[in-house]
Chains A and B, each alone.
Chain A
């Protein structure tokens, strides 16, 4: 059991909030819905409040129920990287629709740009619209689980394809990189048939397309060595995860048995705010949404603090999904996180600390160095 009395608080910062009708009640004008100001303000507020990490949800097509849509999650995370110094930045990238080599190099660059605060929220489930937009088969079901495991494996391989000290800048011999400290990954995925591309147009929906990656990466090993890999329990093998996300605390024990070092539970919240009860706000949002919306926790800041304090020892953290960022985030920042700090229930991320440092996860030794050491 890796449970401790410390509770990490994560925050989903996508769009106007996690509720599909959030945009309709949002106070902001439409012109900056996708602009950088909102993103900057939200992440800065979360960092100031001591949030351990933020996640950036993503999708390829506009969400069915709603608003405008979203910018590429990695771009958003990279944008806020130089504006922050303590908070972890965890964009969602879906393994079924992105080239593993791109995923590896972009996320490694994010880790460099943020000085070690990068993470990867491994996307799961169907990707609506992907087949039509990307002109490639998109895996589903068991194929998707297999493909996800392969993609996470090869991305982790690529992150280790440069040893930490591969950049030698040896002026005397003119060697910038010591090629003996670079390693091919030579990965061939599972799956049958043709690789993704125009030739795979005849492949049925839901069937994975195989891929190969030779490597090495084009980006040197990043500050954390391996970024913090966050994924939903059951969609990525636990041994490949650093943080397993669970929907309820009942699933925590299972996720731990599956090998995930840390377990974080998702909690969607609609708080009492601006003189209105959370339950009333929630009912109004549901009425506006026009689509079924999963239940959220509703109540006061004081009650939420009690709930969160009760999660200590059960899970390692909670990822909060506020219904409306404009309304719920100020309450979290003003009333909830300070109370948790007073109770010494949450860690205080330090400037310069990596996300691994803050989460208490060790920096992994490069597998090629570790292998050499055991010979």
Chain B
């Protein structure tokens, strides 16, 4: 057990991460059905995975009227329902700082931590897709710098609200009618140009004190936010040397902020297609790629790259200079680098993007997948992975049944649970005492 331990999360979907998964799969993939979500969560829990991540469509696929949109259950409600359906697995949700104020976000996350017995996580995301503002009466989305300035502000206000309740603030003294010791509850006074938050959350300190903070933006502004506040950094990396560089970069930034680099985990996303043989896995992958709708894939790529690629023929080469985009900066750079490295045409890049959205794609046997994960982990490119099976639910079952035992045999993945809360299970450093 002395080897550096790998942490694993399930990149939660019902139908799979591949854009064409639902077209190929004959399995049930009804995204509105809680039973499907419960089955996926329990499968991940049975495999001893540390957490599942439920994303919202806001800022991800944005507009329901756009082609390729797949609905999901709203994550706060989904995760609360999954809290009742699972016992151990961490429940992490993507919640955007662009449209919600800190008080309501802090309150729902604290509530989730209470009902889950300390298993809540918050993936801090900002919204960039056109269309993401349509529900909220804001047609103009803030630009990249402004979005992250606001994200910093929301996170800091939320932290202040969570820390305001000391662990022993609830004294519940019946004789003196004192439920809460007022000296141990601190009114938050947060003032900025984005938010003024003055008040106290109506619920006492949650089991973890605060949810585990995840951050997924790989841009400079995103990494700065991660370095200061995140417990877990989710990244998109598909090339080992680049992944090693980013890993080192994150750890250095964390140290620069005066935090322990070992206390912040870097988890790249990985899309898996696992077969009983390499050729069988490749067949499945080929079938998936054939089913990618080229128009939809091209629109998605254009959105990520930040310029319209629709006029270019399938075989057109990718131009060497990447555009600066308002939205997905890190991902645009990554995809561009991949196209140049692998000599992909614009049409091929669009299909690959639809398949992986920039994450590492592993197609092969369970041993192939395990070997690659072990190599990245040993090479200090990752503390673990966010695993998104291309096709669900079979992909997750397969990962748990066939890959997890290989990781355990290698001595880097747990064979039993230690700790109760998500923070404890991830072996993150305990929170400092809030306010001396």
Q: Measuring CB to CB, which residues of chain A are less than 8 angstroms from any residue of chain B? A: 23-25, 30, 33-36, 39-40, 59-63, 66-72, 74-76, 78-83, 98-99, 101-102, 105-106, 108-110, 112-113, 115, 129, 132-136, 158, 162, 167, 169, 171, 174-177, 179, 182, 184, 195, 198, 201, 211-220, 288, 290
What chain A residues lie within 8 Å of B65 (beta carbons)?
Answer: 179, 182, 184, 216
B23 and A70 within 8 A (CB): no
A–B complex contacts, Cβ < 8 Å, 28 sampled: A25-B174, A30-B170, A30-B171, A33-B204, A36-B116, A60-B103, A61-B202, A62-B202, A71-B110, A75-B108, A81-B34, A98-B104, A101-B135, A102-B104, A109-B74, A109-B77, A132-B198, A132-B199, A134-B197, A135-B195, A135-B197, A174-B296, A176-B70, A179-B65, A198-B196, A214-B134, A216-B64, A288-B177
B84 in complex: contacting residue of A25, A81, A98, A99, CB < 8 Å: A81
Using known A-B contacts A34-B114, A36-B83, determine if residue A169 contacts B22 with beta carbons closer than 8 Å: yes
Nearest Cβ on chain B to A345's Cβ, whole angstroms: 32
What chain B residues lie within 8 Å of A212 (beta carbons)?
Answer: 137
How far apart are the CA atoms of A76 and B100 in the complex, in Å? 20
How far apart are the CA atoms of A24 and B81 in the complex, in Å? 30
Secondary structure of the B contact surface, majority rule: loop
| Contact of B434 with A by CB under 8 A | no
B115 and A134 within 8 A (CB): no
Question: Could you list 10 further interchain pairs (A-B, Cβ under 8 angstroms) beyond the known A115-B34, A174-B23, A174-B291?
Answer: A36-B116, A60-B199, A60-B202, A71-B115, A79-B80, A113-B78, A132-B198, A133-B199, A174-B20, A219-B73
B177 in complex: contacting residue of A24, A81, A110, CB < 8 Å: A24
| Contact of B306 with A by CB under 8 A | no
Chain B interface, number of residues (Cβ within 8 angstroms): 70
Nearest Cβ on chain B to A99's Cβ, whole angstroms: 6
Closest partner residue, chain A, to B204 (CB atom): A68
What chain A residues lie within 8 Å of B64 (beta carbons)?
Answer: 162, 177, 182, 216-218
Closest partner residue, chain A, to B101 (CB atom): A134
Q: B164-179 vs A: 1/0 string, CB under 8 Å? A: 0000001110100101
What chain B residues lie within 8 Å of A290 (beta carbons)?
Answer: 177
A78 and B81 within 8 A (CB): yes
B74 and A219 within 8 A (CB): yes
What chain A residues lie within 8 Å of B57 (beta carbons)?
Answer: 218
Using known A-B contacts A75-B76, A214-B134, determine if residue A67 contacts B179 with beta carbons closer than 8 Å: yes
| Contact of B375 with A by CB under 8 A | no
Using known A-B contacts A69-B202, A106-B77, A211-B137, determine if residue A23 contacts B112 with beta carbons closer than 8 Å: no
How far apart are the CA atoms of A189 and B194 in the complex, in Å? 24
B194 and A81 within 8 A (CB): no
